[in-house]
């Protein structure tokens, strides 16, 4: 056969974060002491009560298929959470549980996009968004949202990006990779624009509990008249440190929820039964002290980054990422090796400084680097010291 793979698969770009993590693990296997700040995975454990609920489910024989949409118990618990914490009323039938929020986002794209449909995607964006949109036949329309606006899209930029082909806009708050959080007035202004256009609004709120000095507000609650077009995505990986449990969900209008349920029933089927049992208990066992821990680490990392020559980092208000602008380093070299991009910088920093990070090109933001501070305080201190020695050798 001349061509063994489909065009949709050939066109997918590998995950930059997973690629860096793979290289990091190779160095670790070789005995190198790498500070890994590349992957967005909390370094604390799943809440004990939730973990035990998962174990109990296995011991009690809860290892069979559930409904494709997830257990009614979990969907009721999610509905109760959305009402009590977000002021949003959803019936259990409007909630579809999937194998992680990444899977949920893919389901959403498959349910609402036809070939050529445009999805407005503010940049910087999470690396998987454009690939998921493209695989579903859609076209990502990238709208720059730089440091001058706090890495948040403005109403004017949103208005200018909307065309007759626009099917949806995807907003991520708090943001991966920038840590930016849309404030209430900013969301209200975006809502004014969206009222005038019949497009879906995909809200990725996976980091909603991890905010610092600000309050998380959902556009769906702030602008209830838009709720029938909102696809609200969330999950358990970040706030509950349940990355390996693979559990996410979407709350959607009834017709979209029904379509996603049908699609999922023919693809993955139901999510993990024991993970769902753990999820029910996790919703009642969030540990707010993790927010204080992340805030302390954030402050330590950002202060350290801003002490480095050629680096400038805004203070993130949510998630657990710092996203410094390193354009002041571009054009310099390390021991004769040119740094012409953030990718060059990250590769050299990993090889010679043993600090793993992700270049901004992966997020549609050249000249930037993402550092995860979901690592121990001591690792942050060590990473900054290694980076300082690395920068001292730049010429």
Domains and CATH numbers, the chain: 7-32+288-392 (3.90.1150.10), 64-282 (3.40.640.10)
Q: Nearest Cα to 350, choosing from 18, 16, 31, 33?
A: 33
365 and 130 Cβ atoms separated by less than 8 Å: no
Alpha helix (H) residue ranges in 93-198: 101-112, 129-135, 155-161, 184-195
Count the Cβ atoms, other than its own, within 10 Å of residue 331. 10
**What pLDDT score was predicted for residue 11?**
84
R_g over Cα of the chain:
21
Tokens of 57: 């489910």
**What pLDDT score was predicted for residue 326?**
98
**What pLDDT score was predicted for residue 343?**
93
Instruction: Count how many Cα atoms sit within 13 Å of the Cα of residue 155 in the half-sphere of its side chain.
Output: 13
**What pLDDT score was predicted for residue 345?**
96
**What pLDDT score was predicted for residue 107?**
98
Dihedral class, residue 150 (left if φ above 0, else alpha if ψ from -120 to 50, else beta): left
**What pLDDT score was predicted for residue 1?**
52
**What pLDDT score was predicted for residue 14?**
74
**What pLDDT score was predicted for residue 363?**
96
**What pLDDT score was predicted for residue 9?**
85
CA torsion sign for 268, 272, 273, 278 is negative
Dihedral class, residue 234 (left if φ above 0, else alpha if ψ from -120 to 50, else beta): beta
**88-118 burial, b if ≥16 CB within 10 A, otherwise e?**
bebebebbbbbbbbbbbbbbbbbbbbeeebb
CA 267 to chain centre: 23
CA 158 to chain centre: 21
**What pLDDT score was predicted for residue 340?**
96
Q: What is the largest CA-CA distance in the chain?
A: 63
DSSP symbol at 272: P
Q: Nearest Cα to 120, choosing from 74, 149, 153, 87?
A: 153
36 and 375 Cβ atoms separated by less than 8 Å: yes
| Three-state secondary structure call for residue 207 | coil
Tokens of 243: 């990355």
Task: Name the CA dihedral angle for 273, 276, 278, 284, rounded to a multiple of 10 degrees.
Answer: -160
CA distance 181 to 220: 15
237 and 206 Cβ atoms separated by less than 8 Å: yes
120 and 134 Cβ atoms separated by less than 8 Å: no
**What pLDDT score was predicted for residue 2?**
63
Beta strands in the chain (DSSP E): 35-36, 95-98, 118-123, 139-144, 166-172, 200-204, 230-235, 248-251, 321-322, 333-334, 337-338, 355-356, 358-359, 369-372
Question: Consecutive sets of 10 residues in the chain, 395 residues long: mean pLDDT of each?
Answer: 78 74 81 91 96 98 97 98 98 98 98 98 97 96 97 98 98 98 98 97 98 96 97 98 98 98 96 98 96 98 97 98 97 95 94 95 96 97 98 94
CA distance 205 to 251: 11
**CA dist 125 to 92, 104, 144, 364, Å?**
30, 17, 10, 6
């Amino acid at each position: 056969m001349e061509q063994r793979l489909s065009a949709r698969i050939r066109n997918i770009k590998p995950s930059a974060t997973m690629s860096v993590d793979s290289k990091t693990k190779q160095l670790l296997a070789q005995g190198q002491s790498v500070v890994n700040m590349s992957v967005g995975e909390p370094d604390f454990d799943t809440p004990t009560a939730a973990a035990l609920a998962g174990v109990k489910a296995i011991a009690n024989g809860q290892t069979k298929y559930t409904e494709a949409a997830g257990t009614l118990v979990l969907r009721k618990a999610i509905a109760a959470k959305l009402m009590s914490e977000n002021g949003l009323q959803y019936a259990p039938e409007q909630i579809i549980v999937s194998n992680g929020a990444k899977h949920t986002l893919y389901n959403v794209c498959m349910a609402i996009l036809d070939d050529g449909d445009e999805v407005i995607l503010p940049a910087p964006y999470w690396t998987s968004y454009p690939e998921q949109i493209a695989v579903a036949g859609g076209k990502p329309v990238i709208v720059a949202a730089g440091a001058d606006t706090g890495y948040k899209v403005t109403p004017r930029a949103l208005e200018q990006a909307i065309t007759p082909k626009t099917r949806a806009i995807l907003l991520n708050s708090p943001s991966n990779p920038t840590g930016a959080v849309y404030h209430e007035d900013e969301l209200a202004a975006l809502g004014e624009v969206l009222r005038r256009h019949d497009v879906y609004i995909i809200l990725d709120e996976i980091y909603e509990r991890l905010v610092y000095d600000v309050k998380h507000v959902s556009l769906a609650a702030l602008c209830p008249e838009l709720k029938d077009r909102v696809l609200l995505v969330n999950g358990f990986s970040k706030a509950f440190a349940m990355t390996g449990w693979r559990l996410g969900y979407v709350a959607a209008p009834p017709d979209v929820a029904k379509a996603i349920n049908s699609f999922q029933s023919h693809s993955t089927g139901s999510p993990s039964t024991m993970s769902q049992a753990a999820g029910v208990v996790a919703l009642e066992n969030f540990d707010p002290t993790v927010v204080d821990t992340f805030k302390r680490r954030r402050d330590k990392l950002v202060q350290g980054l801003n002490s480095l020559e050629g680096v400038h980092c805004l203070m993130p208000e949510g998630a657990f990422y710092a996203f410094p602008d390193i354009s002041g380093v571009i054009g310099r070299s390390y021991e004769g090796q040119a740094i012409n991009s953030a990718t060059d910088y990250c590769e050299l920093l990993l090889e010679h400084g043993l600090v793993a990070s992700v270049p901004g090109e992966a997020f549609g933001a050249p000249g930037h680097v993402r550092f995860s501070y979901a690592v121990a305080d001591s690792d942050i201190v060590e990473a900054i010291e290694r980076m300082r020695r690395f920068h001292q050798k730049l010429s």
